Chain A
Amino acid sequence: MYSQNPGSWSGNLETNVNLFLIDSLIGPFNVPQYDNQLVGGEAWLNLNYTRDDLRVGIRFDMYENSNLKNPVESYSAEGIGRWFVKKSVGKLDFEVGYLYDQIGSGLIYRAYEQRTLFIDNAMKGLSAKYNISNDWYIKGFGGRQKNAFDVYEGFIKGISTERFFVFGTEKPVSIVPGIGFVNRTFSDNTMDGIVSILQSYLEEDRFSPTYNTYAATFYNTLSYMGLTWYLEAAIKSDDVFYDSMAKRKLINGEYVEGKYVRRSGSVLYSSVSLALGKLGLTLEGKRTKNFSFRVDPSLQLNRGLINYLPPMNRQNTYRLTSRYSPATQDVSEQAFQVDAQYKINKHWNVLVNFSTINTLENETLYNEIYTQFQYKKPGKIQVIGGVQVLEYNQDVYEGKPGVENVKAFVPFTDILYKFNRHNSLRMEIQYMDTKQDFGSWFYSLAEYSIAPHWQFEGSVMYNTNPKKELSNGIKEKILYPTLGVIYSSGANRYSLRYVKQVEGIVCSGGICRLEPAFNGVRFNMSSNF
């Protein structure tokens, strides 16, 4: 039976176009986009239709001479990147197609999209959720993980249940416990590959793999007045994964680092948030041991990830404070983070964040102290300033063995001045003092906005004390400028920028990758409807 509801359409379009201009000093070299293709880009069009209990969607993806999949390679493909049909029938909700979902915080399962890192871990399959009551459900799913326009061969299935309880009425305490279970089965091809590699190992490094790995998690969110406490504990049965630190013996008696191993794993993660009047406090801790969980253990970097381990550092946004950001480690990591915000009065507030990340063997991976103050006079001026001090293990995070840990001191300020209702100027000034990697940097940005349509921006990043040799073998001071204009009209946004950008880490939620230098023009267009 159909209702009179005609349904509604929604969607969005996002387009990136890059013009690649090779720079004789920063490169990149031997990259097809710079050598001969010159122009590349990507586009995504999402289209969703909702009517009563039915929701359907389709997404067109296009990559042409794109450097998104691999920054030093050209990738071209286009087609249906996603489709789904979702329907509710009584207490049952079911969905087929390419599905995004997660259990708990994602420790054992998370299917998600992160375009800037070319991550699209949607599961192509079926998900069914039975709502036992308004506050209790059980859900099951199964399928294969998306791999660009294909799928990986391994079969993933899982089940989870979550329930909401509340106790008391005047000062109620609520808890939301959940449990989840995920099973991954290797394909025959994957197992053949594993066997082939293990066959090449000497007897002492060999093991007998199994097709199946099981992961289970228990989680709970407790809320009481200003307190929110999230706790999740996950375990994983014996699984094959690559441990880059494990030693393997060669036939000539030498030992080399890195081999496939079969081990069980665990993760313990907790987060406590306290709202105490003017003080907001968040404490987080995580311990990870052997929790690499992929569709196929031979997949590297961000590919084939079944789960998601939350980052344990502040997600910084300023150019220099975010330059060294740690990727979550899945084999050995223990980390703590404290974040405190205090509102002094209606104009002033301060923030202090401390995070420390080590391996389980106590090797330093990352330490950061971040302080920030904010002064705000509504409608007139906002001033943000602060200092970041960090230590970053570049050897581990960027695979640059033997290099010193980067130690940096970064003062920064961000000033927004509103001339009137339409005109405003925002300026950023940052300095990174470091003796490692590329050496010290200065960064400045000016952004002039004419509301509601126009924004003009210009920035410079300057290697004030270069430590790294360029392609000409000289440690040269280089200016990395950016000039851009942005036009917004309703739900449409267009931006055009000239960008000269140094090599660096790009992260999103603890998932990172090393991006080579960029020099060229970028055009972005987005539209929501």
Chain B
Amino acid sequence: MMKKFIIPILTALVLVSCEEKEVIIPDFFVPATGKIVLLEDLTGVKCPNCPKAAYEIESLLEEFPSNLVAVGIHGTRLTQPIEGYSQYDFRNQFSIDLEDYHYPAWGKPGLLVDRVLFDGEDYPATPIVENVKSYVVQELNKEQEIELFLSKDYDEGSRQLDLKVGILPLVNLSGNLRISVFITESHIIDAQENNSGIIEDFEHNHVLRTMLTAYNGDPLPTSLKESQPINENFSYQLPEDNTGLWNEDNIDIVVAIGYEGTAGHRDIIQAASISLK
């Protein structure tokens, strides 16, 4: 008896498997929020997969013009200038320290969205560029906890920058809070490896040039009260450079507030940026 049923059972299972309602993908809307997300890109001029991340970042900045800021970190790995091609060396002690701070990671590119360790990821730096947009959206859907007000005074003659950061807590906050101030430079045309060789005129954007705080941020008060603002001031004189770098027209200041902790527990809760000029 049993023998008669086996083939029909298997056939029936295969046939039953044919019909299922497909999941409809809802349209995408940028969440209405004042929250601004920090996107850090562990990159390097000798990293062939990194242009892919760079294109993705520019696309995301276009899509989230008011809610996303980016920093490109050229640390230790795959960052040596390309012999015979590179005009510049993007490495500096801050980028080296920051990259080490964010490691281990699966390699480059490594993209950190608010330094959060997302479900399914081994490290805060994801190598899967496709995941980044959904992580940005997840962060934007979180409650905004801080409003940042940036104002700057820049003297072109002396190249002196004075930055004021107003921090307005929207909720009570406590913990090992830190403020990080990054100086980035964009529109730098220089060599970059990709999968098919070397792009000699690649546009490097958001390159971390220096920081006005420690690489892992300067401490803030351990307790911030709702609606009680605090201010932080920073000064910096831009170096003179005759190689084409430190172009004041292409400099941005990026500020991020977050927690200090072990990897995966360093969430950034708000970021902001302002152009030097």
Contacts and interface: CB of A to CB of B under 8 A. Distances in A.
Q: What is the interface of chain A mostly: helix, strand, loop, or mixed?
A: mixed
Contacts of B80: 473
A207 B22 CA distance: 9
Given A132-B2, A402-B195, A210 B23 contact: yes
Chain A interface residue count: which class? 35 or more
Contacts of A130: 2
A200 B133 contact: yes
B13 interface: yes
A260 B128 CA distance: 11
Contacts of B32: none
A414 B21 CA distance: 61
Contacts of B137: 196, 199-200
A250 B59 CA distance: 6
A256 B10 contact: no
Interface residues of B, number: 48
22 contacts: A30-B100, A73-B123, A130-B2, A132-B6, A138-B6, A159-B9, A161-B10, A179-B10, A181-B10, A194-B23, A195-B26, A198-B25, A200-B137, A207-B25, A248-B130, A250-B56, A254-B59, A256-B52, A298-B128, A400-B48, A401-B49, A402-B195
Interface in B1-48: 2-3, 6, 9-10, 13-14, 17, 20-28, 48
Nearest to B133: A200
Contact of A72 (B10, B100, B104): B104
Interface in A307-362: none
A257 B20 contact: no
Nearest to B100: A30
A395 B103 CA distance: 23
Interface string B46-86: 00110010011011001100000000000000001000000
A37 to B, nearest CB: 13
Given A73-B104, A209-B22, 20 more contacts: A130-B2, A132-B2, A136-B3, A161-B6, A196-B138, A197-B133, A199-B28, A199-B134, A199-B137, A209-B23, A214-B17, A250-B59, A251-B63, A252-B59, A254-B55, A257-B195, A298-B131, A399-B107, A401-B194, A402-B197
Contacts of A256: 52, 55-56, 129
B52 A257 contact: yes
Contacts of B24: 208
Contacts, number: 125
A7 interface: no
B122 interface: yes
A214 B119 CA distance: 26
B242 interface: no
Contacts of A428: none
Contact of B25 (A31, A72, A195, A259): A195
Interface string B183-198: 0000000000111110
Contacts of A195: 23, 25-26
B157 interface: no
A72 B3 CA distance: 53
A208 B25 contact: yes
A232 interface: no
A181 B20 contact: no
A479 B28 CA distance: 56
B244 interface: no
A197 B104 contact: no
Interface in B69-127: 80, 100, 103-104, 107, 119-120, 122-123
A159 B13 contact: yes
Contact of A181 (B13, B25, B63, B103): B13
Contacts of A248: 130
A258 B26 contact: no
Contact of A30 (B59, B104, B133, B197): B104
A30 B119 CA distance: 23
